[in-house]
Amino acid sequence: MKTIILSLSFILLFCACGTKRQYFAPDKIDGTLNQTRNLKAKIIDTNLFSAKLSNDTAIIKNEENIENFKLEKNYALIAYQDGEFITADNDGNLKIFDSNHQELYSEKFDASVLSAALDGDDLALVLADNTIVLTNRSLGVKFSQTLTPAIAQDSRVAAPVFLDSVIVYPTLDGKLVVFSRQAGQVARDIIVSAEYFFNNIIYFKVMDDKMIAATAKKIIAFSPSKTLSLNAEIKDVVLDGNFIFILLKDGNVIKTDLDLKKISEKKFEFAIFTQASIYNNHLYIIEKTGYLIKCDLNLENVQVFKLPDIDEKMSFMGTSKFYYADKILDLL
């Protein structure tokens, strides 16, 4: 019996050693990057649209200067349009403020508001219980529909988009729901992915007559004439003109056209991508263990820089800057 136990212990130890996590180890490091300057406070929370700082100010994706706007306690900034700040807390409360911090609108919903879009007095919302809502600041709720419950979801939740006579809602159960404003009802569903867990839309953009949407398992390019798709373990998506850059969980970066036809691919062995941006004709990728990867848009001429003290949960990628803790790094 003792021999059997020792043998089993050896097998378990061998298996554990065989599955030991391997980390990104670039052949060449092109230097260590330190912050360009400091934030006035530390990042304490992030969503797909913004980062909240400990002094209750926020940073937004396009880096427009909104640093004088103060968030209320327990509120996050989920959208900023036409000079108006759309904020929400975890209890279903939603408030809109102008730049002078005058409250323009407030409402309480049955679940927390995860993403929002504004069109005049109309607000399109996605709630945490997978309810899609169209509400009006003067008239109240015009439409509400609760979809299939999302058992577990990625923290990144894409926002609805107003398109002329329709609103497209990216849902938590892997769909794009097209709502007709004229008919006041859902016109159609577009299934992006049918996974049971973590199936919310993490990326959604509209380019002319084409919609690009992704979950963590699949990306689609939808147009009135065709729907194209690519199955992959997706970490992030970045769109640049007529090209899509798909960052995968295995350290691959795939460049495609808008029809998802592969143009080029680059493998970064064992890399764990967290965030990415395209700036000044270069792709910038943050790697979880503390690196900034920079390459041209052909996925060539790669440079890797060491970034000290990176905390994925307390970092945020803007268009031309990377923010982490209380630091700002200008992209080169």
Q: What is the pTM of this model?
A: 0.91
Is it the case that residue 47 has pLDDT exceeding 80?
Answer: yes
Say if CB 136 and CB 144 are below 8 A apart: no
Q: Which residues pair with 214 in a beta bridge?
A: 203, 219
Query: For residue 73, how far is the Cα from the chain centroid?
Result: 23
**Mind giving me the DSSP string for 61-115?**
TT----TT--PPTT-EEEEEETTEEEEE-TTSEEEEE-TT--EEEEEE-SS-EEE
Is it the case that residue 221 has pLDDT exceeding 80?
Answer: yes
Q: According to the model, what pLDDT value does residue 12 have?
A: 46
Query: Over the stretch 52-74, which tens digit does the pLDDT of each residue have?
Result: 999 999 999 998 888 889 999 99
Q: What is the overall mean pLDDT for the chain?
A: 91
- Residue 51 CA to residue 60 CA, distance in Å, equals 7
% of the chain surpassing 70 pLDDT: 94
Q: According to the model, what pLDDT value does residue 262 have?
A: 97
16-29 mean pLDDT? 77
b/e burial code for range 82-102 (CB count within 10 A of at least 16 → b): eeebbbbbeebbbbbbeeeee
Distance (Å) of CA 23 to CA 67, 273, 290, 318: 37, 12, 11, 26
Query: Over the stretch 97-141, which tens digit does the pLDDT of each residue have?
Result: 998 999 999 999 999 999 999 999 999 999 999 999 999 999 999
267-272 mean pLDDT? 96
293-315 mean pLDDT? 91
Query: Over the stretch 241-252, which tens digit does the pLDDT of each residue have?
Result: 999 999 999 999
% of the chain surpassing 90 pLDDT: 78
